[in-house]
Amino acid sequence: MFIVTGGAGFIGSAIVWKLNTLGIDSILVVDNLATSEKWKNLVNRTYAAYMHRDDFLTAIRGNTLPYEGIKGIFHMGACSSTTERDADFLMRNNLEYTKALCAFALQNNIRFINASSASTYGDGALGFDDDMGGLHALRPLNMYGYSKQLFDLWALGNGLFETIVSLKFFNVYGPNEQHKGEMRSVVNKAFHQIDETGGMKLFRSSHPDYADGGQMRDFVYVKDCVDIMLWLYDNPKINGVFNVGTGQARTWNDLATAVFRAMGREPAIDYVDMPVQLRGKYQNFTEATMARLQAAGYTAPMTSLEAGVTDYVQKYLMRNNAHL
């Protein structure tokens, strides 16, 4: 059996999809569905059981989980909102929960693959190198990134990266993110804006080194993310912190143009002022350094921005089906 926490969420449900494509349905999905639309990500999937996040946490802390033969845990469950202001909630949900689950995995000899975040790199002044020797120097710009950073530091301090994996996801986009509201990728938001109005909006630059829409991100397709995670599961001797991106930063203008082209339209972009709450906390540039993962043996090519956007828009969004 595999456990996927956050299994109804964006990346988590994509893992369930990937496992299903490999003929695997012995999966425990852990999540907190509440009143969200995340359940739609599970409609097309096959899995053995579902547990609420709180019941699952109680079970692993008491070692009373009613399932045996667990081979791997993909821990994608977390509050991923970069604007969440309840720091105590993030400490409980993102840090303490992850520590408890990691301890459970190690005690039971279960492969543990954790979702960290590129937001741990802060403003990027120190670069985006996933060399673990530089973890202590990183300064995240928001509490979400800090909660992820604290787990990585805890694991590093306890020597756990000899046996576990923590992945720093960059700007992930793709099917199964419809429920995320304002935290959806700009690809998703752009498609709906263009479909409704014929144009789309991007933030004006607040930095002299970047033109409007010229701020840069490493946009990575969710299908590539799950391929990397399954490869890491299959290679248990490869552990530590790894970036998950393409290794090539692209501008927001590039992304917008790719969406317009995938929809068969000419670009029509309007630039608007950045919200006050993002000023001073906005990353103008991110680019994953992928050398460590490649040196570890992962050689599959990453999907280009244009190819990923075209696949997402034409196979899913334009067919009114945003789910794998």
| Confidence category of residue 267, pLDDT binned at 50, 70, 90 | very high
DSSP code at position 210: S
Q: Is the pLDDT of residue 123 over 90?
A: no
50 is catalytic: no
Give pLDDT, residue 86: 85
Give pLDDT, residue 279: 72
* CA 81 – CA 212 distance, rounded (Å): 25
For residue 73, count other CB atoms closer than 10 A to its CB: 26
Task: Write down the catalytic residue from 40, 99, 180, 189.
Answer: 180
Measured CA distances, 131 to 137, 183, 223, 309, 311 (Å): 11, 28, 25, 30, 32
* CA 199 – CA 257 distance, rounded (Å): 11
Task: Write down the catalytic residue from 144, 146, 221, 233.
Answer: 144
Q: Is 212 left (phi over 0), alpha (psi -120 to 50) or beta?
A: beta
Domains of the chain, with CATH numbers? 2-173+219-247+287-302 (3.40.50.720)
For 12-41, the pLDDT digits (tens) are 999 999 999 999 999 999 999 999 999 999
For residue 199, count other CB atoms closer than 10 A to its CB: 15
Give pLDDT, residue 206: 84
For 45-63, the pLDDT digits (tens) are 999 999 999 999 999 999 8
* CA 24 – CA 190 distance, rounded (Å): 34
| Confidence category of residue 283, pLDDT binned at 50, 70, 90 | confident
97 is catalytic: no
Q: Decide: 3 and 74 in contact? Cβ < 8 Å.
A: yes
What is the residue-averaged pLDDT of the chain?
94
Average pLDDT over residues 183-190: 95
